[in-house]
Structure 1
Amino acid sequence: MGTMRAERFYADTKTVVLEDVPIPDPGEGEVLVKVAFCGICHSDLSLINGTFPAQRPVVIQGHEASGTIAKVGRGVTGWSEGDRVVVAAGRPCGQCVNCRRGDMATCLRMQLMAFAYDGAWAEYTVAQAAGLTRVPDNVPLEQAAILADAVSTPFGAVVNTGKVVIGESVGVWGVGGVGTHIVQLARLVGAVPIVAVDLNPAVRDRALELGADYAFDSRDPDFADKLAQATGGRGLDVAFDAVGLKVTFEQALNSLTGGGRLVGVGMSAESPTVGPTSMFGLTRRQALGHLGYHNKDIETLAQLVSRGRLDLSRSISQIIPLEDIADGIRILDQAEGNPIRVLVQP
């Protein structure tokens, strides 16, 4: 099959290296995808900096990929070479109790792309045909790529875990790549008001442009009073922590109304608390963890974009060639230009 250019992460030295490697061959039930675009996510950085433990000594990173099918493996039906697709960012283990029952969507040991197996910071990637989503012709492949995590994870957080309904008040801590889409999706399902919370004034302004009703600085000494005024004195029905730090988690939790839900989406090595268990019980607040999405969510989002219900035109902050992957990693790590999503183009 020849060779391809790919980024590989070496766990022992925590280094990112561009190399020529063999083009993989799809096996039973798999397809080979020629990568068009692949996003750079904070979880990619967390593997590089050691926040997430490595699962393989060497792995190709990148888990937000779109492209076209280059080769169809044995036993694959319904797909053809040239089809435009989004690649799922994970695959079921096939061996746990749930998988053996045929419930692959709730696999207990879901394998994550770019951690447990090779990802798509490369010219080609192999994907299970069962995890592909067809991209409508009017959806740009660069926008389709981020559906695989940067948009579908917020969708899962808002719809499946947070269960936000029309008229509920929502707060979003951290309005970057994930938080921006939580704001947009919360508005789409009818949340009101939506409060964006971020340290950066430029990011707060952007959040207002993309659907937030209010945007506050969490360090503002009048923050609690402003939030109370925005919510009619009730506090928030649902708060989303897209940062994952102790301070953001605890401030979001304390901003809830009685019986409100905190959804933790951001991740770090820090350890927040829920405070005294007496108050946690009396207020009936809930703290919920969220990770990932169902593959069907990508199809739903693709249709929303295709029909003009969800606008992702501002979500692609920059596109860089694969050869400049180090620059893309630095841009996200240092938040240069306040990116929503930086994409790699092999």
Structure 2
Amino acid sequence: MATMRAERFYSDTKTVALEDIPIPEPGDGEVLVQVAFCGICHSDLSLINGTFPAQRPVVTQGHEASGTIAKLGPGVTGWSEDDRVVVAAGRPCGKCANCRRGDLANCMRIQLMAFAYDGAWAEYTVAQASGLTRVPDNVPLEQAAILADAVSTPFGAVVHTGKVAVGESVGVWGVGGVGTHIVQLARLVGAVPVIAVDINPAVRERARELGADYAFDSRDPDFADKLAEATGGRNLDVAFDAVGLKVTFEQALNSLTIGGRLVGVGMSAETPTLGPTSMFNLVQRQVLGHLGYHNADIETLAQLVSRGRLDLSRSISQIIPLEDIADGIRILEHAEGNPIRVLVQP
């Protein structure tokens, strides 16, 4: 039996190993994808450190994958071998109430790649043909890979959950892999001003270069005054917390204007508070949780990149070989070099 190299996460010991395992066979409606690149995401780290509970005793991680189709499974039409694709980072369960009525986009028990089934820190991965997105010829596969989460999740947060409108003021707490793209996409849809908030001066400078109108240190004692001045005294229409800590969540919430929206994107085990319900209701603030994206969003983003509307040329901080996956995990965990996205190349 033909084998491939793959990373394997063992939930009982919370350890990562590189192994030779059988190349999977695509089933009905599936394709085998030869992986070109796959991103390393903070949610991958959260599985390793136990913040996210394991769903399988052993699983291949990695859910931001691009590559080429190596083999078609039975019943697959509209695709050919060697087609350049992005793999969706999840698949509907097909059994819940929403799936039974055909509302697959709102599956109530979505199965997440690299958690519920094997991901793409490997030479090959199996994907549902219905979840593939074709990559335009002029879009590099390394940039295409991060469309499957690092860019599409911010797109979903800005467009679907936050519903940012032209002229609205936006603040982004944490300008790393997710926050950087929230800044870019908020600017793209017409938000003004766009304000980046981060404790790292190098990251703040990068945020300004990539489209933020202002970049502030959240620990600055004059932070509130600077934010008010930048927004003409109104504060923010929409705040995005891409960190998920108690301190970032609460500061973002308190930076909203009357009727403003806070969108939580980052995740942790910490528990923020909303403060007195009397004040929360009086200022009519909204708190919205966000996760993921619609598969159609990947195609939209691919077109934006292809036509030069969205520049991801600085989003790939480093590419490492699969054999060095432990180094990639360490780089992201300790933010070495302030990465936006580190990619694995099998």
Match of residue 291 from structure 2: 291
Please list the CA deviations of residues 62-115 of structure 1 after superposition, one character each: whole Å capped at 9, or x if unmatched.
Answer: 000000000000000000000000000000000000000011000000000000
Q: Distance in 1 between matches of 2:8 and 2:233?
A: 51
Q: Secondary structure at the match of 2:330?
A: helix
Match of residue 208 from structure 1: 208
The letter for the 2-side match of 1:63 is H
The letter for the 1-side match of 2:247 is V
Q: Distance in 2 between matches of 1:56 and 1:277?
A: 40
Match of residue 106 from structure 2: 106
Identity percentage of aligned residues: 89
Note if 1:274 corresponds to 2:285.
no
Q: Distance in 1 between matches of 2:194 and 2:55?
A: 38
Where do 1:82-93 residues align within 5 Å?
A: 82-93=82-93
Structure 1: 5+ residue stretches without partners: none
Q: Distance in 2 between matches of 1:311 and 1:36?
A: 20
Match of residue 72 from structure 1: 72
The letter for the 1-side match of 2:177 is G
Q: What's the CA shift for 1:24? A: 0.1
Q: Distance in 2 between matches of 1:97 and 1:76?
A: 26
Give the number of equivalent residue pairs.
346
Q: Distance in 2 between matches of 1:102 and 1:260?
A: 34
Where do 1:129-140 residues align within 5 Å?
A: 129-140=129-140
Q: What's the CA shift for 1:254? A: 0.2
Q: Secondary structure at the match of 2:151?
A: helix
Q: Distance in 1 between matches of 2:333 and 2:326?
A: 10
Q: What's the CA shift for 1:125? A: 0.1
Q: Distance in 2 between matches of 1:224 and 1:258?
A: 15
Structure 2: 5+ residue stretches without partners: none
Please list the CA deviations of residues 104-156 of structure 1 after superposition, one character each: whole Å capped at 9, or x if unmatched.
Answer: 00000000000000000000000000000000000000000000000000000
Q: Distance in 1 between matches of 2:7 and 2:38?
A: 12
Match of residue 55 from structure 1: 55
Q: Distance in 2 between matches of 1:325 and 1:205?
A: 29
Q: Distance in 2 between matches of 1:233 and 1:291?
A: 31
Moved over 4 A (4+): none
Match of residue 35 from structure 1: 35
Q: Secondary structure at the match of 1:220?
A: coil
The letter for the 2-side match of 1:206 is R
Q: What's the CA shift for 1:162? A: 0.1
Q: Secondary structure at the match of 1:186?
A: helix
Match of residue 218 from structure 1: 218
Match of residue 119 from structure 1: 119
Match of residue 156 from structure 2: 156
Q: Distance in 2 between matches of 1:115 and 1:55?
A: 6
Please list the CA deviations of residues 165-202 of structure 1 after superposition, one character each: whole Å capped at 9, or x if unmatched.
Answer: 10000000000000000000000000000000000000
Q: Distance in 1 between matches of 2:117 and 2:272?
A: 31
Q: What's the CA shift for 1:216? A: 0.3
Structure 1 length as normaliser, TM-score? 1.00
Please list the CA deviations of residues 253-275 of structure 1 after superposition, one character each: whole Å capped at 9, or x if unmatched.
Answer: 00000000000000000010111
Structure 2 length as normaliser, TM-score? 1.00
Q: Distance in 1 between matches of 2:106 and 2:258?
A: 30
Match of residue 307 from structure 1: 307
Q: Distance in 2 between matches of 1:275 and 1:243?
A: 20
Q: Distance in 1 between matches of 2:319 and 2:13?
A: 27
Q: Distance in 1 between matches of 2:216 and 2:316?
A: 24
Q: Distance in 2 between matches of 1:33 and 1:189?
A: 33
